[in-house]
Chains A and B, each alone.
Chain A
Amino acid sequence: MMLMRGNAACPGCPIPRELDALLEVTGEKTVLVVPASCSTVIMGDSRGMPSRVPVVHSAFAASPAIASGLKSALEARGEKATVVVWAGDGGTGDIGFASLSGAAERNEDILYVCYDNEAYMNTGIQRSGLTPFGAWTTTTPSGKREWKKPVPQLIAEHGVPYVATASIAYLFDYQAKVRKAKDITGFRYIHLLSPCPPGWRHDSSLTVEVAKLAVETGIWPLYEIERGKFRLTSISKTLTDKKKRKPVTEYLKLQGRFANLTQEQIKEIQDEVDRMWDEFSKLEG
């Protein structure tokens, strides 16, 4: 176990397991760069930390740049190690986006993992650019009006060697992607959908079920883009046929953040998911 139990994560929070699964693959020679996020708290304090690898805490917008410098210095001293940015959705797609885009454009030799809990959860559930359409947050009390920012696609547009989505409910798929990413030189990006029981308003026992339904309904497709080649992975390979996908309501109804959606809005979400999958069908040929 690379991340010790008894850390400061909330009950039902998948982050410790997601991190542990990552570190199982990348091993002891990993440096984690962690910007302001839930993981800042999970990583303990000045009296101790749960991680068995070095952790570099970072200002909110600085992680991709810190990781760029760290990796350069490790290389200069001949040290082979994986430098991983472990960042939330706000740090990735909002405040840290310029730094992320810069590191991607420079094709820095780092692995960037965004654990996306779809809002500023550490500050108490405020809307981010990655909060989905219709979701309640404390700053969108009547539901978010805009759609989720498509960060994995935006990073793929930079032409980086590896981009993937993943889910804690499909652990082997996630770890296979980390394994693949570990052995690629250049900028690698993995985007994990990471349910948050207090923020998504679901019972803390349902984390894996919610994560699984996100994939089964097609809301969260599992794919990878390796050197520009798009490929659906795991169960998502079977979901291009609409009949195989569960209706989005199965996913939405478990979460209090979607409790006030109208039938019309639910249809809008379903239509948007179907449109996205039509695109995937074309990409898959």
Chain B
Amino acid sequence: MSAARHEYLLRLGDNALILSQRLGEWCGKGPALEEDMALTNVALDLLGQARLLLSLAAEAAGNGADEDSLAYHRDDREFRNVLLVEQPNGNYADTLARQFLFDAWSSLALRRLLTSSDAAIAAIAEKAVKEVSYHLRRSSDLMVRLGDGSERSHAMLQTAIDKVWPYSHELFIGDAVDAEMTAAGIGFDPASLQDEWLAYVREVFAEATLKLPAAGGWMPKGGKQGLHSEHLSKLLAEMQVLQRSHPGASW
């Protein structure tokens, strides 16, 4: 049980951490000042959520680990984030498509966790759900503005969605850890979010005049179990280099 809970917290925490790091790469390079601020604000919220979740995981492990050692001293195979969040930023449409699909999922996932039998997890969700609702409002609005915008913005966003879409399937695939957490009332069955998620995505796509990719096809998975794309290794190289070279450095 405690092993499954640890895994579960790493999954939630790593999703937030890795997406935060990705968004941070935009800092100073956003297409407009307002977008630059928005992306880094979202990154900051996610980093805060990651800190709370990873601290909780470390605390329960009781092996001297802390949020920093989990972030900086694990190898790629030890990360438990879904493949979606480690996908490269690409152009702005790619970043936005990834963000929208994640925000819509995260907002539903956190609302499930509000009623978790684990009080510490429910408290983190209570804090995070307000932030993610705000993120989702922004990413939904931008989907509509760019999707139903110029010919060029529409085409770029549609291409971006088609490219990132296969990675959304993993969000809804459960395994033994999910089953154990669901049975304990701590977590939820990932598959149970899919209909509501799809309904919301469909609604926004309709308003954005975007086409929903066909069902089926390629469905990469494995991130939750530690099998990642090479993109994660490169992301970690940049995120971890300082603490790997100078362990424990602070300023």
Q: Do A and B come from one complex?
A: no
A positions within 8 Å CB-CB of B:
none
Q: B residues near A, CB below 8 A?
A: none
